[in-house]
Amino acid sequence: MPDWSGEIRRRLAPLSLEPTREADIVEELSQHLDDRYRELLARGLAADAATRAALAELSDEELTGALRGIERPAPAPAPAPGAPRTRRWSGQFLQDLRFGVRMLRTRPGFTAVAMLTLALGIGANTAIFSTVNGVLLKPLPYPESQNLVTFWGTAPEKRLPVVNYPDAMFVFFHQHTRVLESVAAYSGGGVSLSGEGDPERVPATAVSTDFFSVMRQVPVAGRGFVADEGTSGKSNVVVVSHALWRRRFGGDRNLVGKSILLGGQPTVVVGIMAPGFDFPERSELWVPLVLDPESVNNWYLSTVGRLKPGRTVEDAHREVAAMSDEFMLSRPARFPDAKPGGGRAVVQPVLQSLVGDARTPLLVLLGAVGLVLLIASANIGNLLLARALARNREMALRCCLGASTGRIAAQLLTESLVLAVLGGAVGLLLGALGVGLIRGLQVGPVPRLAEVRLDPLAQLFALGITLTAGLFFGMAPAIRASRVNPLVGLQGGARGGRSGGARRLSHGFVVAQFALSLILLIGAGLLLRSFRRTLEVDPGFRPENVVTARVQLPWPKYRSDTVVRVFQTRLLESVRTLPGVREVGLASRVPFSPGNPQQNLYVEDHPARSGEAIPVVNSRVVSPGYFEAIGTPILRGRGFLPSDNTNAPQVVVVDETLAQQYWPGADPLGKRIRVSTDSGTPWLAIVGVVPNVKHASLRERPNFELYRPFTQNPTWSSYVVMRSRSASEGLVPELRRRVAELDPTLPVSEVQTMEGAMAESLSLARLTNLLLTGFAGLALLLAVIGIYGVMSLDVNGRLSEFGVRLALGAAPRDVLRLVMRRGLLLALLGLGIGLAGAVWLTRFLGALLFEVSPVDPLIFLTVAGALTAAAVFACYLPARRATRADPITVLRRE
């Protein structure tokens, strides 16, 4: 007895009946056909004739047409009353959904590859987008933070991209601004907090008294500062952060009004800030800034201002530049080199200035993951297209059986959508994992990394990508399917006749993949090369086995130079005797530590011409033994000696950049320089020349540098530099003990190994490289899979042709060449487009590159070569299969 149920179900399918009702009808109709079949046999019909006759009576148009008005389709999950069209549509959708899931389950390999490809693309995008959103876009947690701006001067002609302001200039701005509603000044630093518990150095900020009102911050207890606390003698008050209040003072409710020891001085706590407020740069304490309205000597003030409603950053920029001009031109004695229009300034929203260094790498990564997603999309497009082709016959059959082309297209679209949603779900999971990883990273210049969340916007973003991807991927096969010519489809058989259009489309995908992969690989290559170049830079010292730690001497306890000198001499002697210590020295600043004190430079035999910019020099004070401890070689002359004391002539060591600028080819020893034109400033005789030392980054351009001896120029700020025989972190507890022996109130802070500090300065570049290389590798893999898949499909479709060619006497080599040529042509076309794209796109890497041209020919050629090799490999496998085509087998299969 024939099984009728399949045939009946197919006819009922368009009605989308409830499953139980459908089963009833199938059973009843099957029975009827059984009876009818038996009757026809009894009348003497042959079995197949009887089957045909019975089926003919099941003429479907009549059946489905008649049933359509009677039988109700399966209810939609959310019934839409009085909307039969919608109901039918959603019924169909559910059916398509079920069918789609079934189809995907029957091809686990295809499903896994497609889903994983999509998931990786979406996961990477979600993670990076979350990071970009959390770091770059999310507003700062301050009221109306979008109106907060910060500004500074800039003097590129003196190689000074950032110039802070002196007291007098800030006071001038404060009085004259019309664009800013209010403006505050601050100067970051640290202060030692002693008293109960171990002394510690706490990040502290001196702020002008209206700082909190500019930030619109209200303390949770006590108050902010009042105006007269910004005057000398009344400023021994402090506002503490919520975090410090909890950590150090155990959340003591009565802290406000109490006195604490800051730098050994009793200071009254007047307020506790709200949780989370730590501006600027994780500040834990705020003290009043005492401004001297006449002072133009110390250029140390940062600013934060609030724009008046309706005013823009550009307005502020114009005003700050104009006010700077006005300030300097009105003081010709102090600013002899001032010119109209010379008061240049940079004004930035506070958020932008906070994330400054992180911006370009993050945007580059965002672009890169976008490209990865495009490549992944092309891959999935190809996979789905291949699937659609393999199912040509099925589609043709459905067409013959009465499915409208629209229904077939809807079915295919649904399948892609199922795939996209699955991929999106897994991708979201990967994205969450990625965000978790990123959050755990310690990348110095990237603020707010710990606050990055897989935020709703990113999830929405992923959903958007997913749905767009689903519709997009579904589109090409669906459009194709809707053009299926049943006759051709059925004749073509399972191997699928590949129409010119489909082939062009899948070839287009391959070309696009190669182009995009090339761009990514070139970008990664350029960054890696930059990174190697960076590591090759000579920092001017040897960082191995060096530990540095800050020991700040508080004023007024260390008011007199003698006390400072005695302390520092004893400290050096004490540390030198630590076991394992080879060299020890002190310096006011060590490389890769925050801050960079600079001074003007006047050279005795090169007097500045009027109107010429006065050069600036990085200024350091170091002890005898410092150069040996940090590992900076003396190129000429000598380092400092204990005999360079207050009774001896004032001496200075300069770096070779300075020496070569002023005395190229001549001996700089004995020449004299000074740091101010004031009459009291002594001339300093050059006694030694050292290499240029990188201060904050291995990539920085060399700045002039000078070193003066502690013994002639005592300062309170000092770092101990210890060079040991082996890894040196173990020395730190010993160092703390030695410092405590000398003065138990002194905290030891900023402990770091020199190697660690340098690695930290490279952390962002390292992370960017790692991620970009990963993305580029992923892109390469996808592109290779892509071209392999397409070439395989091409070869399968032409197997009979190859078989016939071989049978007619073609050498396998000819067939191999035929296939390889086609594959490589696609790859090379992609590479050509990619090269053009890379030339255009790599310029955006500019700021991230170091001593590598954005169109570095070596990288371009290497990457193009590697991709070509990968393409050759990927095409070789299907090509070899083509050479083994056996005409008999192939033809028999037709």
Q: Which residues bind other proteins (CB under 8 A)?
A: 24-25, 28-29, 31-33, 35-36, 57-60, 62-63, 66-67, 69-71
CB of residue 28 vs other proteins: minimum separation in angstroms?
5
Based on the number of CB atoms within 10 Å of its own CB, is 553 exposed (0-12), middle (13-18) or buried (19 or more)?
A: buried
37 versus 509: smaller Cβ distance to other proteins: 37
CA 103/CA 422 separation, integer angstroms: 14
Identify which of residues 1 and 400 has a Cβ nearer to other proteins in the complex.
Answer: 1
790 half-sphere exposure, CB direction, 13 A CA radius = 31
Query: Least distance from C-beta 76 to other proteins, angstroms?
Result: 20
Tell me whether residue 34 or residue 315 sits nearer to other proteins (CB atom): 34
Question: What is the distance between the alpha carbons of residues 292 and 149, in angstroms, rounded to a whole number?
Answer: 24
Which residue lies nearer to other proteins by CB, 70 or 888?
Answer: 70
Q: Give me the least distance between CB of 398 and other proteins, in Å please.
A: 20
Residue 550 tokens, joined: 């800050």
Please state, in angstroms and as integers, the Cα–Cα distance from residue 719 to each residue in 41, 547, 591, 595, following that order: 107, 10, 10, 13
Shortest gap between Cβ of 74 and other proteins (angstroms)?
16
Nearest approach in angstroms of CB 16 to other proteins is 16
- In angstroms, what is the minimal distance from the CB of 489 to other proteins? 27
Query: Is the Cβ–Cβ distance between 279 and 215 less than 8 Å?
Result: yes
Helix (H) or strand (E) holding 472: helix 456-482
Cβ closer to other proteins: 63 or 463?
A: 63
Contact present, 393 and 485 (Cβ < 8 Å):
no
Give whichever of 17 and 764 is closer to other proteins, judged by the CB atom: 17
| Closer Cβ to other proteins, 21 or 576, answer by number | 21
Continuous H helices in 219-341? 242-249, 313-329
Which CB sits closer to other proteins, 51 or 619? 51
Nearer to other proteins (CB atom), residue 53 or residue 463 = 53
* DSSP state at residue 77: S
**In whole angstroms, what is the distance from residue 656 CA to residue 249 CA?**
50
Half-sphere exposure of 390 (CA within 13 A, CB side): 14
Shortest Cβ distance from residue 24 to other proteins (Å)?
8
Closer residue to other proteins in complex, CB, 52/258: 52
- List own/partner pairs for 634-639 with CB under 8 A and 24 or more apart: 634/688, 634/689, 634/690, 635/688, 635/689, 635/690, 635/691, 636/667, 636/668, 636/669, 636/688, 636/689, 637/669, 637/686, 637/687, 637/688, 637/689, 638/687, 638/688, 639/688
Nearer to other proteins, 63 or 374 (CB): 63
Residue 100 Cβ vs other proteins, minimum distance, rounded to whole Å: 30
Q: How far is CA 70 from CA 15, 94, 399, 402, in A?
A: 10, 21, 25, 20
Start-to-end CA span in the chain (Å): 30
CB of 29 to other proteins, least distance (A): 6
Rounded to whole angstroms, how far apart are CA atoms 431 and 436? 8
Question: Please, what is the minimum distance in Å from the beta carbon of residue 98 to other proteins?
Answer: 24
Grouping H, G, I as helix, E, B as strand and the rest as coil, residue 665 is coil
d(CA 384, CA 484) in angstroms, rounded, equals: 16
How far apart CA 887 and CA 884 sit, in angstroms, is 9
Cβ distance to other proteins smaller for residue 4 or 461: 4
Q: On the CB side of 273, how many CA atoms lie within 13 Å of its CA?
A: 26
Please state the closest distance from residue 787 (CB atom) to other proteins, in A: 51
**Residue 13: CB minimum distance to other proteins, A:** 16
Nearest to other proteins of 70, 78 (CB atom):
70
What's the CA gap between 695 and 702, in Å, rounded? 9
Q: Give me the least distance between CB of 57 and other proteins, in Å please.
A: 4
SS3 250: coil
Euclidean distance between CA atoms 464 and 370, whole angstroms: 13
